[in-house]
Structure 1
Amino acid sequence: MVTHAPTLSNSPNGPIHPDSILDALDPEQREVALALRGPVCVLAGAGTGKTRAITHRIAYGVATGAYRPNGVLAVTFTARAAGEMRTRLRGLGVQGVQARTFHAAALRQLAYFWPRVVGGAPPRLVEHKAQFVAESARRLGLSVDRVAVRDLSSEVEWAKVSLITAEDYERVAAARGRDAPAGYDRQTIARLVTMYEEVKTERDAIDFEDVLLMLADMLNSHKAVADEVRGQYRHFVVDEYQDVSPLQQFLLDQWLGGREELCVVGDPSQTIYSFTGATPRFLLDFRRRFRDAAEIRLVRDYRSTPQVVGLANELLRRAGRGAAQALELVAQREPGPPVTFSTHDDDEAEAAAVAARAAQLIESGVPASEIAVLYRTNAQSEAFEAAFAEAGVGYLVRGGERFFQRKEVRDAIVLLRGAARSADPDLTMPEQVRDVLAAAGWAAEPPSARGAARERWDSMQALVALADELAAARGGDDAPATIATLVDELSERAKAQHAPTVEGVTLASLHAAKGLEWDAVFLAGMSEGLMPISLAETDEAVHEERRLLYVGITRARERLDVSFARSRNPGGRATRKRTRFLDGIWPDGEPRGSRRARGGRSRARALLTAEGDVALFEALREWRLEVAQDADKPAYTILTDASLAEIAEARPGSVAELARINGVGPGKIDRYGPTILSIVSSAPRA
Structure 2
Amino acid sequence: EFVAVHAHQCPDLAGPGLPQPRLATKEPVFALKGLGFALLRLVPRRPVVGGTPDEIRAASSVIAQNRGRHEKTLWTARREGAPLVCHTANTEEEEASFIVETALSLSRKGAGLGEMAVLYRTHALSRPIEDALMARGVRYAVYGGLRFYERKEIKDALSYLRLVLAPYDPVALRRVINEPPRGIGDKTVEQIFDFSAQRDLDLWSSARRMVEEGALPPRAARAVAAFISLVEGWRGFFAAGEGLGLILKRIFEESGLLGAIERAKEDEREAERLQNLEELVNAAEAHESEGGNIVTFLDRAALVSDMDASGEERSALSLMTIHSAKGLEFSTVFVAGLEEEVFPHSLSSGSKEEVEEERRLCYVAMTRARERLYLTRARVRRVFGAEGLFRPPSRFLFELPEGMRPADLAFAARPASVGAGFASQKSGFTRPLPEKRKEEGVGEVREPQS
Please report the TM-score for the alignment, with normalisation by the length of structure 2. 0.46
Please report the TM-score for the alignment, with normalisation by the length of structure 1. 0.31
Considering Cα pairs closer than 8 Å and 6+ residues apart, tell me whether 1 or 2 has the greater RCO. Answer: 2
Question: As a proportion of its length, which structure holds more helix?
Answer: 1
